[in-house]
Amino acid sequence: MKSAPTSLDRLRAEIEHRNPAQPEFHQAVREVLETLAPVLEARPEYAEPGLVERLVEPERQIIFRVPWQDDHGRVHVNRGFRVEFNSALGPYKGGLRFHPSVNLGIIKFLGFEQVFKNALTGLGIGGGKGGSDFDPRGRSDAEVMRFCQSFMTELHRHIGEHTDVPAGDIGVGGREIGYLFGQYRRITNRWEAGVLTGKGAGWGGSLIRPEATGYGNVLFAEAMLRERGEDLEGQTVVVSGSGNVAIHAVRKLAALGANPVTCSDSGGYVVDEKGIDVELLQQIKEVERGRVSDYAQRRGASARFVPVERGRVWEVPADVALPSATQNELGEDDAATLVRNGVKAVSEGANMPTTPQAVRLLQQAGVAFGPGKAANAGGVAVSALEMAQNASRTAWPAERVERELARIMTDIHTTCAQTAERYGAPGDYVTGANIAGFERVADAMLAQGVV
């Protein structure tokens, strides 16, 4: 006999009806709602003022046209987005993504995840996300500059250090942040360092910010292993992606004695038996803007490239896996392969890179699973530390920032583990992260009234 739908079931159906053709947003909301029933039962005050209904609806959704000229004088028109999801804990905070796959549903999913991620850091930041379907790959610096200037010409009226503080994400690195900041300064006639994070260290940025997401994910993975009496030393690790997060995850893994043996991009993946040479990878991807296939050619006999049509990075046997590329890159079949090969822990470096079916399979197999809203919170944590440095017009030494990052990631792990235990789901970091983040945001929303 089928059970009657609960209020959360009805809310989920309403969300899917009101937000059609946004599967990633539906997926992100569903994952959170599925864990909230015990919280609403234990604390009925959360259910009364339509709190959950308000939490899943963005406070503001902004869509705008971005016209720009390429080097040949041709005019292109892209679409820009900023979803300001929740500001109960502080100004909206979240990255900008420039990628052809960007649409409103993607930005809403990322913004919703960001609300919980930012809450878990314990810092005073709300959640938001933005971006465009512009593809910076293959574009000259001048073309990227013109696009960023056009994008900021509209975005500037919606952001500010006390309102909304964007940062980088896929396709938006130091180059793009520089062009965006320059245009903001030009339009507003203000040196408002706190309006963007991920800036250059010489003009208001924080040391360790480029490394923070990758470093933080590795620290979270190690914390999960320590719960089981192990650490990363000597462990073989598969890492997907070859962008900022993956590169610095590889760097931190090697520093902690692990052996990261893979990296990937849209063309395929590389296996390097000696361990990924992070300096070579960084030169190819961040300086030359090349492909991982170039890495294999230049690395020598220890490395081989596997094209995307011939295999997946998750087929490489490993003790730990760090999906660090993009959403839904690790599916159920991939999870089954990882389990067969003896994986002990999976920690998400990207946002929602593991499908719900894969998450369930990993958890059922006893694999420690770190969800992105907890495991990859290091980037936004150091962004908030950058905001603190900007507010006091100081620059902290790298050692202090890295020490703060380690403390925050340890606190997030402890919070998730203790919350899961408190609600009868020991070892379930998904439940722990969702509930802990929800409680922090919900308490602030209750205190501030129906707004």
Which residues does the annotation mark as catalytic? 129
DSSP string, 250-299: HHHHHHTT-EE-EEEETTEEEEETT---HHHHHIIIIIS---HHHHHHHH
Q: How far apart are CA 356 and CA 221, in angstroms?
A: 20
For 263, list phi and psi in degrees, rounded to 5. Answer: -155, 165
Tokens describing residue 316: 């490489």
| Burial track 397-415 (b if 16+ CB lie within 10 A, e otherwise) | eeeebbebbeebbeebbeb
* Distance separating alpha carbons of residues 339 and 328, to the nearest angstrom: 18
Alpha carbon of 29 to those of 24, 208, 374: distances in Å? 9, 31, 16
Q: How many Å apart are CA 121 and CA 269, to the nearest integer? A: 32
Q: Are 434 and 36 in contact (CB under 8 A)?
A: yes
Q: How many CB atoms lie within 10 A of CB 370?
A: 26
Cβ neighbours of residue 424 under 8 Å, at least 6 residues apart?
Answer: 38
Dig out the tokens for 145 from the structure: 């500059």
Name the one residue in this structure whose structure tokens are 């309006």.
195
